[in-house]
């Protein structure tokens, strides 16, 4: 594998971020292209540096948005998200990421986790796309409106099994399991209006 993966680190502690950069300095596969200490500047850095991997301390994201990490970065289809766990973080938050690096991991373990995250989602163009298909959006809208699987199946003229399959894909792509969370996601992405939900 000749490709070098570019890494952007989002970590408020310069000591920790610099330590990570130093550990990967001689890596043949990974190259730290930038470090940032605030979530506010993250999108402009992603656009300018075009990293393949974002190592992010989950605590840099506002509490209410920590469970919607995949949707925050959904416009960057090729971005691999790695959590940097420096203190206790809820398991539900960590599940949003492709891998979790712990504060006491050594260089070998860190590189191993980075490689596994790349392989687990497929390399380059083979990587799974997190964007919802048109049919998945239809199902998500119906879920946000409070409809049951049977109602959704009848409305979209598909089987209940297909509805369940779409719902699994929606959860996998968004990282959101609860109906209330999916409803918020649908609202934030302008897939449904509040008036339709309140009916």
Of 91, 126, 161, the residue at which a domain comes to its end is 126
CATH assignment of the domain containing 98? 3.40.50.2300
Name the H helices within the chain: 14-23, 42-49, 69-72, 91-94, 107-121, 134-144, 149-156, 160-174, 179-188, 194-197
Same domain, residue pair 59 and 90:
yes
Contact 8, 36 (CB under 8 A): yes
Same domain, residue pair 73 and 138:
no
Average pLDDT over residues 49-59: 94
Cβ burial of 62 (10 Å; 0-12, 13-18, 19+) is exposed
Supply the range of the domain harboring residue 191.
134-197
User: For 148-170, what is each residue's pLDDT tens digit?
Assistant: 999 999 999 999 999 999 999 89
Same domain, residue pair 120 and 139:
no
pLDDT(130) > 70 = no
Q: Which two tokens stand for residue 10?
A: 């989002």
Query: Is residue 18 classed as helix, strand or coil in its secondary structure?
Result: helix
User: For 134-143, what is each residue's pLDDT tens digit?
Assistant: 899 999 999 9
Same domain, residue pair 101 and 20:
yes
Residue 67 has a pLDDT of 80
């Amino acid at each position: 594998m000749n490709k070098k993966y570019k890494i952007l680190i989002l970590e408020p502690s310069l000591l920790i971020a610099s330590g990570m950069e130093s550990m990967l300095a001689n890596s043949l596969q990974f190259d730290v292209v930038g470090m940032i200490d605030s979530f506010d500047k993250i999108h402009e850095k992603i656009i300018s540096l075009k990293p393949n991997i974002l190592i992010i301390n989950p605590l840099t994201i506002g509490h209410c948005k920590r469970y919607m990490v995949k949707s925050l970065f959904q416009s960057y289809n090729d971005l691999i998200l790695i959590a940097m766990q420096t203190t206790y973080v809820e398991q539900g938050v960590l599940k949003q990421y492709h891998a979790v690096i712990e504060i006491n991991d050594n260089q070998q373990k860190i590189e191993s986790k980075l490689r596994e995250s790349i392989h687990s989602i497929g390399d380059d163009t083979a990587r799974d796309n997190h964007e919802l298909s048109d049919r998945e959006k239809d199902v998500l809208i119906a879920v946000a409106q409070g409809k049951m699987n049977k109602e959704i199946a009848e409305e979209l003229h598909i089987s209940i099994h297909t509805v369940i399959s779409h719902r699994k894909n929606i959860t996998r792509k968004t990282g959101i399991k609860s109906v209330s969370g999916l409803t918020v996601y649908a609202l934030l992405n302008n897939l449904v209006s509040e008036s339709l939900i309140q009916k």
